[in-house]
A and B are shown apart, each in its own frame.
Chain A
């Protein structure tokens, strides 16, 4: 059961007055007040949790964001930022007594600067639109979440999103070089820019991945890269998932970092093949897709090297794409894996843990045991290169109790990831979904240190509260130094 911060009655009682004040700041249709229209924002892509926001505000420029945040700060009103609402962890879940700040009107690309290999965009620009904007110059934006046609660059910054290419080209955090953001105090702060390595503390590094808790991003500068001249993919079938996992380790051990490297298990292969007819081997327990990119000479050289490694690891099928169409077909099944699974099950939960790759075999075995325990099936697709698992737990929300069982199953999978040395989330974020599991990975001191950072940005915890941390920040208490009788926790003077 998800518990959100207790709504502030005083704020709820002042609703009409608050709406009027916000309308002053964002005139016209920028303030959404009616119940029916507000409901369109009640959840993000984690649809299991829903809450109609108190009011929705759609500012058009930084000035309005500043004014909204100042007003909310002065009046003790909570704010939840939102991009396209594709978060899979409930990061953009509204609050009953909160303003939902939709950044959808920040849609402009402000500057395309090819000589400095960067693009400056407003946060509501979609991920794919950035690549499209520089396509003509032979450039692209590397992080490519599967949701890239819909998700916004602001949401990507907040979630530090990844994609199939991030083992080689990095996550959002490695490709964002500047931001403008507004603090809950209404201060406009710029970090980084078109230059390398902003001096001072790397606040850009913590803002990326902060899930909307530290500031509202109003402008983003991203690094763009030259589009690789070519790419080929290999489709490799294995009689066991362990074999596929070992092959991945061997490829990396041989010094090869593929552009993409994905594994699908039997259930995922079957679902995908039935859906897109990509020619996947139906006799395989695991399918490995390896994409190698670069100039022709390099790609052919590496394809041969990976084919050899695959054969040595007991691959039962090895096919190299012979044309661009075929390469895309190899990927089509993987890219459609989620909707394909949606065809074989009314509902599914998408999990997102990361494990040390060597544990893949053992973890999948344990998952099989959990399938029996919960009486639910799991289809697995994962970013094999970096050990990021996406187990899809199949369930039927119309059957009483199945959602709850699926959630418990999911929790067990994430705890298993932590147990083998991995983490709760590789790219989808903590949000509300994994919030209450944070204690499994971090102890109280670890979490307090993170929350103190939150206090430095937003002392009253008004920005996206109830997300990421199992307990609300208590800044006054966290800031206190407990010097008892002139001594700190370790009283004895060291003898060295």
Chain B
């Protein structure tokens, strides 16, 4: 059974009506992220695609309110017209998530928020969770509630908005969200440095990010990834600079003084390059894919450890080493979870791409200590006491 509500009130009615017989719902906006997370076992589908469209957009206020199924592409066009953007530039991951035959849908704002998706700018600009100001939603009791506000600065009450972001639709069903938007930089330029080892590259990225030159993107593609992206025959380290033209020109020069001359990508080529990085196109298109968030400086050793165990493993680095994309051609029965998580030490590892049976049996998201797991369960219980929303999506039972 599929429900297609067109208002918050209808969403609330569906939830409430089904609560008596504990009808579990798979919540879908554009459907493009269904392959992300554990497979959901539900009694019915709640298709939110009718809840789309921008409700209010005031560029000088830096505030935009929209319904969750607004396609990201549409939103980005509207913002671009006013010289603005979503600073966290969420990736769409269509090819990435489509590679195992999972449905390709329309990437929406609600999906980007529910999964807390942030692109390469995240290293400086912040994540999706940093730009949500407020929302309306329906909880598991079939009640419509709101939190946060519609202005850029607000500390009134608990910041439930952050909690919604990254909750994969397991706490409440978003029906409207308000975001802080930011001006689009006048221009950008990316400097490509060639031939650095992983360890050297992560060090260079850290030092570049620590210069006052506002580096807003720092990625490293080892040889295989660089070849696949056609940016070099050997390893390539990329540093992105944005801003007014005279400023960008000056800062690129300063960065070159520190780290040596490289290739400069102009605004268009630069944007294309970072789209490649965001969409994970540089990775081996087979096997399972992991998304690792280690302590940034530890990432080269992490990759080295994994490659010692599995020489076919391939990786590339974003967020100055704070994000490692890893593909494992033959990972074994646990998708490599055992040795990947053992090598990680601190941080978290997410199984991004794997056949459904693996995502069902392996912990897709990083397991957490007992006390935290119990707290998370109580939080879930307080939003969705009957466990109606996306059961199993994040963890068994959640």
Residues of A participating in the B interface, judged by any CB pair closer than 8 Å = 113-117, 137-139, 159-160, 162, 166-167, 170-171, 173-174, 183, 187-191, 193-206, 208-210, 214, 226-229, 249-250, 252-253, 255-257, 294-298, 301-302, 354-358, 383, 386-388, 421-430, 434, 438, 441-442, 445-450, 452-457, 468, 478-479, 481-483, 486-494, 496
Contacts and interface: CB of A to CB of B under 8 A. Distances in A.
Contacts of A296: 250
A356 B61 contact: yes
A491 B18 CA distance: 10
B155 A426 contact: yes
A446 B148 CA distance: 10
Interface centre among A194, A430, A438 (most CB of B within 10 A): A194
Nearest to A257: B183
Interface residues of B, number: 105
A312 B143 CA distance: 49
9 contacts: A201-B171, A201-B379, A205-B163, A226-B213, A253-B59, A297-B246, A453-B160, A455-B378, A489-B143
B62 interface: yes
Interface stretch (B25-33, B96-104, B123-131, B271-279): B123-131
B230 interface: no
B376 interface: yes
A284 to B, nearest CB: 22
A198 B212 contact: no
Given A196-B323, A489-B143, A301 B394 contact: no
Interface centre among A173, A302, A493, A494 (most CB of B within 10 A): A494
A479 to B, nearest CB: 7
B149 A423 contact: yes
Contact of B365 (A167, A200, A252): A200
A405 to B, nearest CB: 24
B347 interface: yes
Contacts of A356: 58, 61, 63, 150-151
B60 A250 contact: yes
A203 B375 contact: yes
B159 A160 contact: yes
B103 to A, nearest CB: 23
Contact of B383 (A198, A200, A427, A452): A452
Nearest to A457: B375
Interface centre among A166, A167, A250, A354 (most CB of B within 10 A): A354
A201 B167 contact: yes
Contacts of B308: none
A429 B213 CA distance: 34
Contact of A162 (B153, B161, B210): B153
Contacts of A383: 153
B155 A209 contact: yes
B382 A301 contact: no
B19 A483 contact: yes
Nearest to B186: A255
Contact of B246 (A298, A425, A493): A298
A195 B368 contact: no
B343 interface: no
B348 interface: yes
A380 to B, nearest CB: 16
Contacts of A355: 151
Interface string B25-46: 0000000000000000000000
A393 B243 CA distance: 41
A423 B149 CA distance: 7
Given A456-B382, A479-B385, A488 B142 contact: yes
Interface centre among B19, B151, B209, B372 (most CB of A within 10 A): B151
A256 B378 CA distance: 43
Contacts of B142: 488-490
B210 A256 contact: no
A479 B386 CA distance: 11
Interface string B7-35: 00010111011011000000000000000
B165 interface: yes
B166 interface: yes
A411 to B, nearest CB: 14
B296 interface: yes
7 closest A-B pairs (Cβ-Cβ)? A205-B162, A298-B247, A255-B183, A195-B347, A452-B382, A488-B16, A456-B378
A434 B214 CA distance: 39
Given A294-B214, A441-B156, A195 B17 contact: no
